[in-house]
Amino acid sequence: MSLAPFAPEVRELLSQPHDQLVSAVAVTNNGTGTSIELPVEDFDVELDENRVPRVTLSIVTPVPDQATLDLLDPRKPVRVRFSAGYRLPSGVEDVHQLFDLQLRARTVDRPAGTLTLLAQGAEGALLDASPDLPFYDGDTTWDSATAAIKATITSRLAGGPFAGPTIIATTSDTTPFTAVTFPTDYWTRIVDAADSIDASVYDAGDRIFRIAPRRYLAAESTHDLRVGANGTLLTSRTGVDRDDWANAVTLLYRWEATSTTTADRLWGQAYATGDYDPALVGYVQLVDIRERKTTPATADAVARTLLRRAMSRAKTFELQAVSAWWLRPEDTVTVQLPEGPQERHLVARVRFTSNGTMQVKTRLPDTSVS
């Protein structure tokens, strides 16, 4: 059970009275210019596997002088670096920089005299680059979806404040990726390529893009969430929701077949089997339209990916616990509620707040869709 980058003593510390420490600094010129200390009066950090960007940070700090305020301009490449951790019983401060984000917005409130900064992960730069701006790839072909994703990230960030991004690809796909002639935008292209191999593409808040298989099966647990004298779980809520669930997916792909106005299209489909077969429980249909060229095999592969994700959303758990700053989406956690068996869950979302607690949304491992 990894606590990295924190010390092993932290595990026992969380169930006892303890101090949590946070700090933040803004740095101009994309992290190479003027450093500005940000006294943290309040904060909120959310990491969500279903949101883009995956990491969002909000900090409340006193309003600085006008010259400093002018430096905190979200239209320029300003980094916000956030550190958090614990004070150990020995007095040692186990604190680490956890996030290095792009400043997206600032708000000054008067007469309260507070400044609120909003910062997010590097996916925002891809969304900023040319949203809804069509482009032409000619006859380019790719060896795999992973190659297509890496090439797209690199090309869109080249020359800007995120030039030369680090990209970690742990997928081993060899599926040919169809050349895209008229995609809607770059992020759409990345999402579709990732869906074709059932992968997640994200910046974990450290300016490193990861291309990795989406997790459905539990792995080694990174944290225990349990009640009792030595537990850190404070409250829990469980639910099963048919409205946020589907057992059938239909995709429509449509695109311009040539440089003329001639259009073409095809469909991709997937259905659940077993206990939730639409023939047994009725159809709950998820329909999506994608403006891009593809193949029948890729369309069906994407439909299966979306079906598996929709199936895994039905039963959710909302848990409040003492902040474990190393926890991330798609991590496995061991959960023991007041009643019922001990289970291993996958983290879907984790939100850290200034009162020393975190809200964790989890999903159950899912093997229902092949």
Q: Quote the radius of gyration of the chain (alpha carbons, Å).
A: 22
pLDDT at 152 over 80: yes
pLDDT in tens, 288-320: 998 888 889 989 999 999 999 898 888 889 999
- The two three-digit tokens of residue 105, written as one number: 């917005």
Superfamily grouping for domain 126-213? Baseplate protein-like domains (3.55.50.10)
Q: Is the CB of residue 349 less than 8 Å from the CB of residue 50?
A: yes
Return the half-sphere exposure (C-beta side, CA atoms, 13 A cut-off) of residue 31.
13
Predicted pLDDT of residue 139: 44
- CA pair distance 191, 87, nearest whole angstrom: 41
Q: Is the CB of residue 193 less than 8 Å from the CB of residue 149?
A: yes
Q: Which helix (H) or strand (E) holds 152?
A: helix 145-157
Q: Is the CB of residue 64 less than 8 Å from the CB of residue 132?
A: no
Region of residue 170 (phi > 0: left; psi between -120 and 50: alpha; otherwise: beta): alpha
Residue 256: burial class (beta carbons within 10 Å; 0-12, 13-18, 19+): middle
Spelled out in words, what is the top-level CATH class assigned to the domain 10-120? mainly beta
DSSP state of 102: E
- CA pair distance 198, 305, nearest whole angstrom: 5
Percentage of residues in the chain with pLDDT exceeding 70? 92
| DSSP structure string for 178-239 | PPPSS-S-HHHHHHHHHHHTTEEEEE-SSSEEEEEEPP-S--SEEEEEE-STT--EEEEEEE
Q: Is the CB of residue 153 less than 8 Å from the CB of residue 126?
A: yes
- Domain-by-domain residue ranges, the chain? 10-120, 126-213, 221-242+314-363, 248-312
Q: How many residues does the chain have?
A: 370
Q: Which helix (H) or strand (E) holds 283?
A: none
In angstroms, how far is CA 323 from the centroid of its own chain? 18
135 band by pLDDT with thresholds 50, 70 and 90: very low
CATH of domain 221-242+314-363: 2.40.30.150
pLDDT in tens, 328-355: 999 999 999 888 888 999 999 999 999 9
- The two three-digit tokens of residue 39, written as one number: 């006294």
pLDDT at 243 over 50: yes
Dihedrals φ, ψ of 301, to 5°?
Answer: -65, -45
pLDDT at 128 over 60: yes
Q: What is the pTM of this model?
A: 0.89
Residue among 200, 226, 149 nearest 329 (CA): 200
pLDDT at 322 over 80: yes
369 band by pLDDT with thresholds 50, 70 and 90: very low
Average pLDDT, the chain: 89
137 band by pLDDT with thresholds 50, 70 and 90: very low
pLDDT at 42 over 60: yes
136 band by pLDDT with thresholds 50, 70 and 90: very low
Helix (H, G, I), strand (E, B) or coil at 154: helix
Residue among 146, 156, 144, 147 nearest 187 (CA): 156
- CA pair distance 356, 322, nearest whole angstrom: 6
